[in-house]
Structure 1
């Protein structure tokens, strides 16, 4: 199956789709983790924007603001390294009661389930359902880890003994069409990922 078809789908009938999904499951071990993350993230409903440099991050962030009419809005953000993006676009990130979105980084991107791992460094003590419905994440390709256990190992090594609290993942980025026990109780988020190439 071509990379284009994997990313954008095809007009094949359902039997071909079933064969392709079986093929994907059996070939997961051969799929590069960045491609695996992208496929699973999009399958979960996330909006993926690849950036080659910081100028592209700024441009695409402005495109997101334009698309959603978020200029001069209140924003939730707890990371000083991201304040310049907000300042450049006249966004208020002080004490806000009703933010339009949260701008954050993350600890890791988890390839095998297309999810994003957060901690108190990004979201303080908020639970996923307490965050705004709209989330904009700025992350790098070096943060992609194959599995949740790889991500937790990375966090353990990275922080040595000063571990962050409130470690949690968000996996569902759109309302499930059919509720099942795996998605029960999860709060779907409208999530944009600005992924900066750093490898």
Structure 2
């Protein structure tokens, strides 16, 4: 049973401690057991305040997106979206796709999902040269399970391999999704976003 199906099963109880990655009844002398990257990402992403929606197929993704639009009353609003393929995919939702930063929300894909921090890795392919604090507060990110990587170094390596020799000039991560959450010295200066992640199964 995959991680995301287990998360949707209320009767499932993990044997692992999400903080330490080991079984709670194991001796401290046993070697540490690492969590799978998908489980690690989910734990840290939700801990950061992100809203996570797992979708087994496109139909579920479309339904989840529709629910987000209804919940926030975002229909017939300006949407910041730089990707033509996304505009085509979501063309039937009566949205006004623009490149204006004062839009109601951002609709975007991403480069990677970083497991060890729960962050979303973006580059100029999604947001051009815009800084995070210039983008709308609300974001809807469409990603796939195959985009989950262990750490940011792995994500940057994928960008380098795919984009070479034209490496994007603007590479950034979104990690702080909760304005009420007390910031520590690691999150000072970060741009808080109200972020929904539509995670599509592709493995």
Instruction: Give the TM interval when normalised to the shorter protein.
Output: 0.7 to 0.9
**1:86 positional shift:** 3.5
Match of 2:73 among 69, 72, 79: 69
**1:178 positional shift:** 2.3
Runs of at least 4 residues of structure 1 off by over 6 A?
A: 25-28
Task: Determine if contact 2:101/2:136 at 8 Å carries over to the other structure.
Answer: no
Distance 2:149 2:86 in 1: 23
- 2:13 equivalent in structure 1: none
Distance 1:125 1:171 in 2: 18
Is 1:107 the counterpart of 2:111 in the alignment?
yes
Task: Determine if contact 2:118/2:175 at 8 Å carries over to the other structure.
Answer: yes
Match of 1:78 among 75, 82, 106: 82
Match of 2:20 among 16, 19, 23: 23
* Matched residue count: 186
Distance 2:19 2:60 in 1: 36
| TM-score normalised by L of structure 1 | 0.85
Structure 1 residue runs of 5 or longer lacking an equivalent are 9-19
CA RMSD between the two structures? 2.5
| TM-score normalised by L of structure 2 | 0.84
Structure 2 residue runs of 5 or longer lacking an equivalent are 9-16, 23-27
Deviations 1:30-85 (A, max 9, x none): 21101110111000000011111111111111010001000010000000110124
- 1:168 equivalent in structure 2: 172
**1:96 positional shift:** 3.6
- 1:181 equivalent in structure 2: 185
**1:22 positional shift:** 5.3
Distance 1:86 1:96 in 2: 18
Task: Determine if contact 1:58/1:85 at 8 Å carries over to the other structure.
Answer: no
Q: Identify if the C-alpha distance between structure 1 residues 181 and 80 changes in structure 2 by more than 3 Å, giving closer, same or farther.
A: same
Q: Secondary structure at the residue paired with 1:23?
A: coil
Task: Determine if contact 2:80/2:101 at 8 Å carries over to the other structure.
Answer: no
Greater Cα shift, 122-131 or 171-180: 171-180
Greater Cα shift, 176-185 or 70-79: 176-185
- 1:34 equivalent in structure 2: 38
Distance 2:73 2:134 in 1: 22
Higher helix content, 1 or 2: 1
**1:160 positional shift:** 2.4
